[in-house]
Amino acid sequence: MNENNNKNTNNNTMSQWYKTAISTAAVAGIFSFVVIIFLFANFVRSSIVEAKQEQELVNLKAEIVKNPDDTALLEKIRQRDLRYRQNLFSRMDFNHKGAHFLLASVVIMLISFKIAFSLSKKLPAPQHGGDNLKEQIRDAFLSRWSVTAALGILAFGAILFAGRAYVAFYEEQAGEVTFPTDEEIAQNWPRFRGPGGLGINAYTNIPESWNAEKDENILWKSPVPLSGRNSPVVWNDKVFLAGGDPNAFSVFCYDANSGSLLWTGDVTNLFAQSEEEPFEVFEDTGYSAPTVTTDGRRVYAIFVTGIVACFDFDGNKVWEKDLGIPDSMYGYASSLTMFQNMLLIQFDQGDGEDGKSKIIFLDGATSRVIREVQRFVPGSWTTPIVAKIGDGYQYITAADPWVISYNPENGKELWRADCLGTDVAPSPIYGAGLVFGIRPYSELVAIKPDGKGDVTETHIAWSAGGNAPDICSPVCDGEYVYSLTMDGYLSCFRASDGEEIYEQDVGDYFQASPSLVGNKLYLLSDSGVMFIAQAGSEYKELAKCELGEKCFASPAFMDGRIYIRSEQNLFCIEKKN
Amino acid sequence: MIRFRYIVIGLAAVLILGGLVRAAESRFPPPEFENGHEFPQTTTPQTREGVFAYIDSIVLLGTLGLATYLALKKRRRKAILGLTVFSLLYFGFYREGCICPIGAIQNVTMSFFDPLYAVPIVVIIFFLLPLIFTLFFGRTFCSSVCPLGAIQEIVLLKPISVPRWLESGLRLFAYLYLGLAILFAATGSAFLICRYDPFVGFFRLSGNANILVFGACFLIVGMFVGRPYCRFLCPLGVIFRQISRISKKRVTITPDECIKCRLCEESCPYGAIQKPAEQWTKEQYKKSKIRIAFLLILLPVLIFLGGMIGKSVKNTLAQMHPTVRLAERVRMEETGQVEGTTDASDAFRTTGVENVELYEQASNIRQSFGLGGILLGAFLGFIIGMKLILVSVWRERKDYEADRASCFACGRCFEYCPVEHKKRNERKQQ
């Protein structure tokens, strides 16, 4: 009896606690609701009434702009502004306090409900353990379907997302060929040292005599407004070159037939715009040493400050991109290269260990960086070549101490050979199935280009010591390789084994690289004299043609014409009938 | 009897309307002074610096240690609940939910991909400490230290059990969330976890209306479904699930031998108690082997397809990046696809940067999302494939066990175990 009484008493006590908890929760809930009503009313008031007040204030402010002397209006604005601010801060304060009340009441409500549920919870009764195998199998079956359904939802969501419209940043050029064919390139002179950068001309009807003083075979002569050591580049009837000084960087386009300056494309020269001292350049490279390049659609130029620019053939600037001033001891001088739609920039700089050097692949049409390939070489002054070797193309670079070949399509390194040194300026060439690189003052090196990785020990075909050039790049006719030093020593090596066939003092100073026209070598000296010599195992001077002006840039050759840039002028030489 | 629908409706009204009202607080334009008053420089609030940051770390270490002690050694639910309340108050309402180890995933990810970003030491501590504790002791961080877990733990009123199969499917969304959070952090797009933290608005008593409603929904669901965020969305929970599978020690339902009384069977609101199961029949085993062989072949296919699908959504994913969004806006304005300008596009134009440079940056970001999309898709394909394999594997269990991966170490099951009570009585008598 007592036991039953105690039980009833306990039940009654529990019931009282339960009721208390529920009542508290209900009160807290009602309080929360009231707070919500107040907050909501405050929100409605602010969004309707104050919005109207704010608009009135804006209108009054617009009015005072028209009547700045209206002091009454000004006072009205002040009063309205003050009232508006007071209302706003009052409302914010109300919201702030309300949020705290709301939190407190929700917490009390939750605690009360938790207590009530705890009091009403019934403990489970002990049961005998059973086998849950069937449940496990059913769970596994349903889980697989559940996961599959989730997979379906994810895939469906992804398909919906994939189909969402997005904004294309560049014009779609579907179906349009955006880069020239190999045949088009071969018929033009689109870059430093012509097609492939080999210094070899596709035409053989090139003038063999001229004299500027006597106006002999000079088709035209046009002044170049800004100096530069870059070479002319020719595409059909247009000749391009670049020039610069402390105040301006420009690209020039000439009519190939008349020599008239068609347009000048100005490029940003940050140093001209700044109040700092003019940018110091090395005299032998100047502000505009790199030769421009073209893909037959646009022309591209880079200057000593690392700014790259692109113009269409009508002279409209398509884009401009600042790569930053290269850390180059003698000033940046590597010329630009095109491969298909890409502009390739050998941006070598620094000491080689700082990781500053890289090859930059830009989309020619847009300047979008397609990729950058870091390379641990110091600053170099060479211009890479693009050569078709076997079934693919190789982009071959030269810097201290590596000749490195890349796949221009994806930027992957193909092979490298440790064979160069010091400050490398002569560019590599490809001929007779070999890549030739020059270690200045020291040796000419021939490399077989079919290796992988570091081929120093395995693919260096030969190296020939002697009077190697420090600026001029070599040229190869398939049987012999010719190199020309700055002080005029022309060396001829057999391409197959590197045996030196002869060394000839031409008798002048040279910075322009030698070119090959048929079986003739064209050597343009600093004094503007073109030495034309027989290519082959024996040196035989055929002609000396004078321009009478200093020349440091390599000439460009087209059908029946030579384009030569002197210090001040651009010459077109053509045999007159 | 309490009518749950009234509670749901009432709280929904409270939280949603409360959120709306809080969100209505507008930023007020500065006054237009006429007396030459100079406005102070706009500054960004500094992160909690110096000794306070380390105090947070010490509190974290202390709570983790205490949580582990209470769950593994002391085995007291009420004490664990007390610590949960403390963590909610300290890490939640006092520290306003930041820094939290869940968000720290993004900081750590970003530090790997952005050479200019130096992850603060405190963030590393907040990231590593819970990981280490989970590796050694199971998910004691989730039990009573995580403020996000704590707020859900507190609001849980009347739990209903989620079928195990449904949980298997829903949990995949947590992997998706983790993958997206890492992708967006790695690309510098956004800290997704922080941006969509459903509870931080409550901790700060302020926030974006959408997020407050989002959080309110979680809390309302959380009154009947135990810890919905932790189980179906938490990216750190996904990592902890895998780590706790190999943890050195972990919570057990019973301190001694299981007597299979089935009292604990329904005690876990998180579905983390696994029931005993006998060995399969030979026929079932054979079928299972064939199925697993098929699923193993399917795994690389899912990875590949996932990668492809991931790649196909790169442009959409890239729109999370502010630069891409800005570039798209500028491009649309440039090409006349939209009229007018936005504050962002106006601000961009004042910088003098060429549009093409912006487009180039955006294109590069899109490219990085191409690779990121492939990796994300492949990751999800792998997870789905592995999930299908794992649910098909037979596991023999003799006793009622806490699921190593799912157990939050909340300690509810202790109170239901007669062996536990017997032990406590024995200790009292000693």
Q: What residue spans define the domains of chain B?
A: 4-23+53-252+414-429, 282-392
Task: Look at residues B202, B196, B189, B267 and name the one whose alpha carbon lies nearest to residue B229.
Answer: B196
Cα within 13 Å of Cα(A65), Cβ side: 5
pLDDT surpasses 70 at B4: no
Alpha-carbon gap, residue A301 to B245, rounded angstroms = 61
Of B163-167, B417-421, B425-429, the range with the lowest mean pLDDT is: B425-429
Least confident window among A32-36, A274-278, B274-278: A274-278
Query: Residue A470 corresponds to which amino acid?
Result: D
Is pLDDT at B292 greater than 80 in this prediction?
yes
* Minimal C-alpha gap between A434 and chain B (Å): 37
Residues in B 303-322 with any Cβ partner in A closer than 8 A: 309-310, 312-313, 315-317, 319
Distance from CA of A188 to the nearest CA of B (A): 30
- For residue A174, what pLDDT is reported? 45
| CA atoms of A353 and A377, how far apart (whole Å) | 7
| Residue B23's pLDDT band (cuts 50, 70, 90) | very low
Give the pair of three-digit tokens for residue A317: 């600037």
Per-residue pLDDT tens over the stretch B215-273: 888 888 998 899 999 999 999 999 999 999 999 888 999 998 888 888 888 889 999 99
Mean pLDDT of B365-381: 93
Out of B173, B277, B377, name the one closest to residue A136 (CB): B277
Q: Would you state the pLDDT for residue A285?
A: 82
Query: If you average pLDDT over residues B302-327, what whole number do you get?
Result: 93
Take residue B338 and report the two structure tokens written for it: 């939209």
Q: According to the model, what pLDDT value does residue B24 have?
A: 46
Strand order in the sheet with A392-398: A385-389, A392-398, A402-406, A413-418, A453-454
Banded model confidence at residue A427, pLDDT cuts 50, 70, 90: very high
Q: Which residues 348-407 on chain B approach chain A with CB closer than 8 angstroms?
A: 354, 356-357, 359-360, 362-364, 377, 380, 384, 387-388, 391-392, 394-395
Q: Do A129 and B284 touch (CB under 8 A)?
A: no
> In the structure, what pLDDT confidence band is assigned to residue A9 with cuts at 50, 70 and 90?
low
Asked if residue A500 lies in contact with residue A492, where contact means CB atoms within 8 angstroms, the answer is yes
Q: What is the mean pLDDT of residues A400-409?
A: 94
Contact B28 A155 (CB under 8 A): no
Query: Quick one: which H or E segment has residue A35?
Result: helix A2-45
Q: What's residue A534's pLDDT?
A: 94
Higher pLDDT, A14 or B199: B199
Alpha carbon of A541: minimum distance to chain B alpha carbons (Å): 53
* SS3 of residue A22 by DSSP: helix
pLDDT at A277: 63
C-alpha angle A330-A530-A226 in degrees, rounded to nearest 5: 45
Burial class (CB in 10 A: 0-12, 13-18, 19+), A147: buried
Percent of chain A with pLDDT over 70: 93
In this predicted model, what pLDDT tens digit does every residue of A129-147 receive, in sequence order?
Answer: 556 777 888 888 899 999 9
Is the pLDDT reported for residue A334 higher than 50? yes
Residue whose C-alpha is closest to residue B113's, from B291, B424, B375, B301:
B375
Dist. CA B399–CA B54, nearest whole Å: 43
Give CA–CA dist A534/A555, Å, rounded: 18
Q: Which residue of B3, B17, B21 to mutate against A (max A Cβ within 10 Å)?
A: B21
Per residue in B76-127, pLDDT (tens digit) is 999 999 999 999 999 998 988 888 899 999 999 999 998 888 888 889 999 9
Peptide bond connecting B198 to the previous residue in cis, omega within 30 degrees of 0: no
Per CB-CB distance under 8 Å, the chain B contacts of A273 are: none
The pLDDT of residue A559: 92
Q: What is the pLDDT of residues A213-233, one digit of tens each?
A: 898 999 999 999 999 999 999
Q: Would you put residue A498 in left (φ > 0), alpha (ψ -120 to 50) or beta?
A: left
> Helix, strand, or coil here: A93?
helix
As a whole number of angstroms, the distance between CA A447 and CA A459 comes to 6
Q: What is the pLDDT of residue B8?
A: 53
Average pLDDT value for chain A: 88
Query: What are A174-191's pLDDT values in tens digits?
Result: 445 578 898 999 999 999
Instruction: Count contacts between A and B (CB, < 8 Å).
Output: 193
Q: Which helix (H) or strand (E) holds B134?
A: helix B121-137
The stretch B403-411 carries a mean pLDDT of 92
Give percent above pLDDT 70 in chain B: 89
Query: Which of A305-309, B37-41, B238-242 has the least mean pLDDT?
Result: B37-41
pLDDT band of A275, cuts 50, 70, 90: low
Using the predicted structure, report yes or no on whether residue B58 has a pLDDT greater than 90: yes
Nearest to B312 among A133, A139, A162 (CB): A162
Would you say A259 and A250 are in contact if contact means Cβ atoms under 8 Å apart?
Answer: no
Q: How confident is the model at residue A513 (pLDDT cuts 50, 70, 90)?
A: very high
Q: Lowest mean pLDDT: which of A394-398, A417-421, B6-10, B381-385?
A: B6-10
At residue B15, the pLDDT reads: 52
CA nearest to A439, candidates A401, A404, A413, A407: A401
Instruction: For residue B236, give the nearest of B376, B88, B130 by alpha carbon.
Output: B130
Residue A384's Cα: distance from chain center in Å? Answer: 17
Whether a cis peptide bond, with omega within 30° of 0, leads into B132 is: no
The rounded radius of gyration (Å) of the Cα atoms in chain A is 40
Give the pLDDT mean for B41-52. 66
A167 touches B: beta carbon within 8 Å: yes
Is the pLDDT at B280 greater than 80? The verdict is no
Do B417 and B401 meet the contact criterion of CB atoms below 8 Å apart? no
Query: What is the interface pTM, i.e. ipTM, of the complex?
Result: 0.82
Q: Strand A413-418 to strand A402-406: parallel, antiparallel, or no bridges (unpaired)? A: antiparallel
- Give CA–CA dist A362/A345, Å, rounded: 8
Tell the residue number behind the tokens 């060995």, with chain if given.
Answer: B279
- Residue A43 forms contact with B (CB below 8 Å): yes
A370: three-class secondary structure by DSSP = strand
Contacts of residue B62, Cβ cutoff 8 Å, sequence gap at least 6: none
What is the predicted pLDDT for the residue at B130? 95
DSSP reduced 3-state for A219:
strand
